[in-house]
Amino acid sequence: MLLELKNVSIHFGGLKVIEKMNLGIEPGELIGLIGPNGAGKTTAFNLISGIYRPSHGEILLEGASNAALEAFEIARLGVIRTFQNIRLFSTLSVLENILVSMHQTCGYGLPSALFRGKKFFATESRFCVEAMKLLEIFNLDGVVNHEAGSLPYGVQRKIEIVRALAGKPKLLLLDEPAAGMNHSETAELMNLIQKIRRDFKLSILLIEHDMKLVMGICERIVVLDHGVVIAEGSPEMIQANPRVIEAYLGVEESA
Amino acid sequence: MGGLLKQSLRGWILVLVVALCISALANVGLNPYQQQILFYIAINIMLATSLNLVNGFCGQFSLGHAGFMAIGAYASALVSLNFQPLGAGFDVLIFPFYALIGGICAGLAGFVVGMPSLRLRGDYLAIVTLGFGEIIRVVLLNLDVAGGARGLYGIPGRTDFMACFHAFFWAGTTVLLLWRLVHSSYGRAFLSVREDEIAASCMGINSTRTKVMAFVISSFFAGAAGSIFAHTTNSLNPSSFQFVKSVDVVIMVVLGGMGSLTGSVIGAILVTILPEALRPLQEYTHVDLRMVIYSLTLILLMIMRPSGLLGSREWNQILPGPWRRRAARA
């Protein structure tokens, strides 16, 4: 089990945002996390990535509890996320954004940076080659030196995914990667997500409102509503589940 | 391989040549008053570029640079008053060692101040460093070893060719090392913390460590600048390190452009020269308009260029097209 949430709850004052959530992710799985607005999906991401700490329950990363870990340590262990409201380093270039994620594997120390040792040049050129490879996969090699914040929304979303990939994740958390994209962009993104999952052999947990995307690529879907997991299963099972339909559309009132 | 070695040496050769040229010129064409200003330029370049590392590149706000400068100045002065292994004629050879001691003491102080206050996000650092600067000054004022309000006298110091070379070699070294630092993976970590601390930590950046690192390095160079100050003025007094001094350094950084080392160098030169250049005006008008014009200049600059003279651009980004491309390749 790559990641396991055991009875995880988080309360903000009296507000129970997530209540006894259980979730297991195996290596290589592609799981969709869906639910109406305010269901607690992004909060779940914040818990997994260590920005919030659970009020109860525990989160296990490859069998070990991550309760004592800071967000950056969890990222270094291979759980890397993107953000719903894009959080690129907007005044840095696209390339620099990608290189920041690689800093954790930086092969040279401060002295080598200050006195430009052999390792500095070797690492920097390796970083650049790796970053360019990733950018090429996403057809972003044309904007390498552009300021990240000046690019169109859809492009920024893709850069966020590349930035996350550059940190060599085992589990990639994508928070609404298709938000603000048109149909053809979403279709392209679907292919890309499947491709990176195959090529990088990673697990993906995906929050998405675009049902076509979710149903199209996820083999398992978890539905959250008001902080509680109300359903879990294959896309077909989820589509037929009356509780899910109720959460999204409400119940028909009998006259 | 030889190419890489050449690349790492090129910066040092440049620093050496610039420092030699400036000190040679200073001893041929300048009077002692102008030489003194030159020394202050070197010191202010060190202060401004190092403060920019924290305020401009790392996005924190430090207001206590004078405090770290004071620690460096007093530490170096006290060591030099008690430890002079070389005769009077050669004492300049040991100046780099004094500066190193001043820098290390200030760096340690930076660690002690930075560690608790940089764990937190927000403006805590500004308050803590502001308080720290004042505490240092008051402690020095009441410390017998440091001479109290009278300060320290008879510090070995010179303003000749070698001393000038020493000052500008340090200034050049500061700029070179900071330049290399911000153009490395560590520099990108600084910038990422400035841009978005949460996103940075989700990408595996240890933001506390990154901020403390920037702060300690910055304090080190402020301390070294203090040492050079001590060994050019020959005397130290707590009143040289008042809050206004910290504000002056902030002005240099903001004027030149936050996040631009080139800007900080230009800012340091301008803020040092401007008040002095306006001195002759006083003789004509018989009224001290110096500070009025100085502050008006600053206000006008801030209105017309709110992000400073250079913004966050460096020298190679403001060159005309073909030159810029050449610089990018180099």
Q: What span, in angstroms and rounded, lies between the C-alpha atoms of B219 and B206?
A: 20
**Which residue range(s) make up the domain with B218?**
11-241
Q: What is the pLDDT of residue B5?
A: 73
CB A25 within 8 A of CB A62: no
Query: Which residue is it, tokens 């040492």?
Result: B227
How many separate domains does chain B show?
A: 1
Q: Which chain A residue's Cα is nearest to B311?
A: A91
Backbone φ and ψ of A80, nearest 5°: -125, 140
Backbone φ and ψ of A85, nearest 5°: -95, 105
Residues of A in contact with B186 (CB under 8 A): 103, 106, 110, 113
Residues 30 through 49 of chain A touching chain B, CB cutoff 8 Å: 49
Residues of chain A with pLDDT under 70: 254-255
CA B237 to chain centre: 19
**How do the domains of chain A map onto residue ranges?**
3-249
Residues of A in contact with B207 (CB under 8 A): 72
Q: What is the pLDDT of residue B93?
A: 81
Q: What is the pLDDT of residue B90?
A: 67
- How many other C-beta atoms can be found within 10 angstroms of the C-beta atom of residue A236? 10
B236 in helix, strand or coil?
Answer: strand
Does the distance separating the beta carbons of B198 and A87 come in below 8 Å? yes
Does residue B101 fall inside a structural domain?
Answer: yes
B272 in helix, strand or coil?
Answer: helix
Distance from CA of A240 to the nearest CA of B (A): 36
Q: What span, in angstroms and rounded, lies between the C-alpha atoms of A216 and A100?
A: 32
Out of A83, A92, A120, name the one closest to residue B191 (CB). A92
Q: Is the pLDDT of residue B328 over 70?
A: no
ipTM surpasses cut 0.95: no
Q: What span, in angstroms and rounded, lies between the C-alpha atoms of B312 and B320?
A: 17
Mean pLDDT, rounded, for B250-274:
94
Q: Is the pLDDT of residue B110 over 50?
A: yes
Does the distance separating the beta carbons of B202 and A118 come in below 8 Å? no
pLDDT tens digits, one per residue of B191-238? 999 999 999 999 999 999 999 999 999 999 999 999 999 999 999 999
Position B291 confidence tier, pLDDT thresholds 50, 70, 90:
confident
Does residue B257 fall inside a structural domain?
Answer: no
Q: How many CA atoms lie within 13 A of B236 on its CB side?
A: 31
Q: What span, in angstroms and rounded, lies between the C-alpha atoms of B329 and B315?
A: 14
- As a three-state string, the secondary structure of chain A is CCEEEEEEEEEECCEEEEEEEEEEECCCCEEEEECCCCCCHHHHHHHHCCCCCCCEEEEEECCEECCCCCHHHHHHCCEEECCCCCCCCCCCEHHHHHHHHHHHHCCCCHHHHHHCCHHHHHHHHHHHHHHHHHHHHCCCHHHCCCEHHHCCHHHHHHHHHHHHHHCCCCEEEEECCCCCCCHHHHHHHHHHHHHHHHHHCCEEEEECCCHHHHHHHCCEEEEEECCEEEEEECHHHHHHCHHHHHHHHCCCCCC
CB B255 within 8 A of CB B271: yes
**Torsion, Cα of A186, A190, A193, A195 (10° steps):** -130
Angle at which helix B2-29 crosses helix B32-52, to 10 degrees, equals 150
CB B257 within 8 A of CB B147: no
pLDDT tens digits, one per residue of B66-89? 999 999 999 999 999 988 777 666
At a CB cut-off of 8 Å and minimum separation 6, what does B178 contact?
Answer: B49, B50, B52, B53, B217, B221, B261
Q: Among candidates A1, A9, A4, which has minimal Cα distance to A59?
A: A4
Q: Is the pLDDT of residue B314 over 90?
A: no
Q: How many CA atoms lie within 13 A of A54 on its CB side?
A: 27
Distance from CA of B107 to the nearest CA of A (A): 15
CB B265 within 8 A of CB B318: no
Q: Which CATH class is domain A3-249?
A: alpha beta
Out of B7, B187, B205, name the one closest to residue A116 (CB). B7
Q: What is the pLDDT of residue B275?
A: 85
A138/B288: higher pLDDT: A138
Out of B184, B200, B201, name the one closest to residue A113 (CB). B184
Position B329 confidence tier, pLDDT thresholds 50, 70, 90:
very low
> DSSP state, B64?
-
Does residue B150 fall inside a structural domain?
Answer: yes
> DSSP state, B54?
I
B152 in helix, strand or coil?
Answer: strand
- How many other C-beta atoms can be found within 10 angstroms of the C-beta atom of residue B62? 34
Beta bridge partners of A18: A10
Quick one: tokens of A214?
A: 């979710």
Out of A75, A120, A164, name the one closest to residue B184 (CB). A120
Q: Which chain A residue's Cα is nearest to B205?
A: A72
Q: Among candidates B105, B25, B44, which has minimal Cα distance to B245?
A: B44
CA B297 to chain centre: 22
Does residue B278 fall inside a structural domain?
Answer: no
B157 in helix, strand or coil?
Answer: coil
For residue B36, count CB atoms less than 10 angstroms from its CB and return exposed for 0-12, middle for 13-18, buried for 19 or more. middle
Position B111 confidence tier, pLDDT thresholds 50, 70, 90:
very high
Does residue B5 fall inside a structural domain?
Answer: no
Quick one: tokens of B230?
A: 């001590």
Out of B188, B195, B202, name the one closest to residue A103 (CB). B188
Query: What pTM was estimated for this model as a whole?
Result: 0.92
For residue B136, count CB atoms less than 10 angstroms from its CB and return exposed for 0-12, middle for 13-18, buried for 19 or more. buried
Residues of A in contact with B184 (CB under 8 A): 108, 113, 120, 124
Q: What is the pLDDT of residue A171?
A: 96
Report how many Cβ contacts below 8 Å link chain A to chain B: 107
CB B250 within 8 A of CB B271: no
Convert B147-168 to b/e letters by CB count within 10 Å (16 or more is b): beeebbeebbbbbeebbbbbbb
Instruction: Please state whether A176 falls in left (phi above 0), alpha (psi between -120 and 50) or beta.
Output: left
Q: What span, in angstroms and rounded, lies between the C-alpha atoms of A150 and A97?
A: 13
Q: Among candidates B71, B50, B44, which has minimal Cα distance to B218?
A: B50
Beta bridge partners of A112: none
Q: What is the pLDDT of residue A55?
A: 94
- How many other C-beta atoms can be found within 10 angstroms of the C-beta atom of residue B131? 15
